[in-house]
A = this chain, B = another copy of it.
Amino acid sequence: MSEDRKLTAAMFIGVRGEGIISFGSGQPDLPPPQEVYDILPDYSGFKYGLIQGQENLRDALAKQYPRSTSDSFVITNGASEALDLSLRAIAWLYRKKGGNKPRCLLCRPYYYSYLPLVEYAGFEPVFTDLQEGRIVYEDFERKIKNCQAVLINSPSNPTGRVEAIDTLKKIEKITEELGVYVLSDEVYKDLIYVRENYLIKGPHVVTINSFSKTFAMTGLRVGYLWSLDSDLVKMVIEMKSHTSMNTSIIAQEMAYTATTVPKRYVDEQLKIWESRRDMIYKGMAELGLDLWKPEGAFYVLPKIANPRDFVWDMFHDHKVITYLGEWFGAPDRVRFSYALDVDKIEEGLDRVGKYLKARKA
């Protein structure tokens, strides 16, 4: 593929238009709970908020996490900023202690932002390859010993898989023994089809979460981190006071309202996601594609021959946005988000089927 056909995810984010079907960015199409908008008509805030985040929101979150107070949270510009600041803070503290280049373990395939975030923060990435979308603990154990941090993402974007609880417990144990930071990105914790979420715990665990997926608030950008490592939390707050200051106070107030919504909202969303999951999994299997059955989140990652041509042609000739597996460390695959209503999933699969058939002919 020539240079002028360079593809990046940044090209596609936020792109919408007549006839376009986007299996691209991972955002719910269904709206947030109405309550989130109810605060707007009377809203009048404008002053700086606390860098750490609004107190009402952190108090509400503290009730959802064990052994925690509002001090254990930092509210951020989405989970993205929580990841970025955590990595930067860990690297900064490492260098302050005389270290040179810290190392961060990534489970491959990984969410496409992990590799640049790790590199921007000055880490050397180390990889452990997943098998059928799950961690191979022996390989993990060998590699974690030379790392200062690890990123865990269960349920996983892009694999749609949920990690075995046994493995997660072994990871808790070894990382605590080694004093390695665990960044556990659990933004899909409320979108699991096979079991309850398992919250990874430990003295150096940083849990990353967000209102984006659970409450369909992607564009509003409210995420957070939770950690019992108070030195790290302090370093993150200090950094954030320079790099972005408080997260937008109006978006935080909307997020606070989301914490008061009955659990019914989340349960009903999950049913919708599950029916879409069933539909796309069945549809892709019928197209003869090789893929893992999603257990959480809203992605499938089928193998596709010539994936760069596929992603380019599907967008330019068939108005279907998909994401290149190579952005996720899976060069023989393509990621589809199924955050679409069933009519669009059906129409999109139809276009994909026709294209693949024509290519074979």
* A216/B49 in contact, CB under 8 A: no
* A80/B40 in contact, CB under 8 A: no
Output the nearest chain B residue to A218 by Cβ-Cβ distance.
B48
* B41/A84 in contact, CB under 8 A: no
Quick check: which of A157-165, A233-241, A340-348 contacts chain B, the rest being far away? A233-241
**In the bound complex, what is the Cα–Cα distance between A241 and B12 (angstroms)?**
10
Nearest chain B CB to A166's CB is how many angstroms away?
A: 32
Q: A50 contacts which chain B residues (CB < 8 A)? A: 13-15
Interface residues of A in 175-199 (CB under 8 A from B): none
Q: A40 contacts which chain B residues (CB < 8 A)? A: 40-41, 43
Among B10, B77, B218, B239, point to the contact of A244 (Cβ < 8 A). Answer: B77
A94 at the interface (CB under 8 A from B): no
Q: A51 contacts which chain B residues (CB < 8 A)? A: 10, 13-14
* A244/B48 in contact, CB under 8 A: no
Q: A13-B241, A221-B248 are in contact. Are A46 and B25 (CB under 8 A)?
A: no
Q: In the complex this chain forms, how many copies of it are found?
A: 2
A357 at the interface (CB under 8 A from B): no
A203 at the interface (CB under 8 A from B): no
- Interface residue range, chain A: 35 or more
Q: A15 contacts which chain B residues (CB < 8 A)? A: 50
A9 at the interface (CB under 8 A from B): yes
**In the bound complex, what is the Cα–Cα distance between A32 and B250 (angstroms)?**
14
Nearest chain B CB to A48's CB is how many angstroms away?
A: 5
Give per-residue flags for A238-257: 1 if the beta carbon is below 8 A from chain B beta carbons, else 0.
11011111111111001000
Output the nearest chain B residue to A254 by Cβ-Cβ distance.
B250
Quick check: which of A115-123, A130-138, A271-279, A296-304 contacts chain B, the rest being far away? A115-123
**In the bound complex, what is the Cα–Cα distance between A216 and B16 (angstroms)?**
32
Output the nearest chain B residue to A43 by Cβ-Cβ distance.
B40
Interface residues of A in 4-34 (CB under 8 A from B): 8-10, 13-16, 25, 27, 29, 31-32
Q: A242-B80, A244-B244 are in contact. Are A31 and B10 (CB under 8 A)?
A: no
Interface residues of A in 67-108 (CB under 8 A from B): 77-78, 80-81, 84, 88, 92
Q: A16 contacts which chain B residues (CB < 8 A)? A: 47
Q: A84 contacts which chain B residues (CB < 8 A)? A: 242-244
**In the bound complex, what is the Cα–Cα distance between A238 and B137 (angstroms)?**
33
Give per-residue flags for A193-223: 1 if the beta carbon is below 8 A from chain B beta carbons, else 0.
0000000000000000000000011111110
**In the bound complex, what is the Cα–Cα distance between A243 and B80 (angstroms)?**
5
A260 at the interface (CB under 8 A from B): no
* B44/A31 in contact, CB under 8 A: yes
Q: Knowing that A46-B220, A84-B243 are A-B contacts, what are 15 other residue pairs whose CB atoms are under 8 Å apart, sorted by A's residue number?
A: A13-B51, A13-B246, A14-B48, A27-B47, A29-B47, A45-B220, A46-B216, A48-B219, A77-B77, A81-B243, A81-B244, A122-B122, A220-B248, A244-B244, A251-B251
Q: Name A's B-contacting residues (CB within 8 A).
A: 8-10, 13-16, 25, 27, 29, 31-32, 37, 40-41, 43-51, 77-78, 80-81, 84, 88, 92, 113, 116-117, 120, 122, 216-222, 237-239, 241-251, 254
A-B contact pairs, 20 of them (CB 8 A): A8-B241, A13-B51, A13-B241, A13-B245, A14-B48, A16-B47, A25-B48, A29-B47, A40-B41, A46-B217, A47-B218, A80-B245, A81-B243, A84-B242, A88-B120, A92-B120, A116-B239, A117-B243, A122-B122, A221-B247
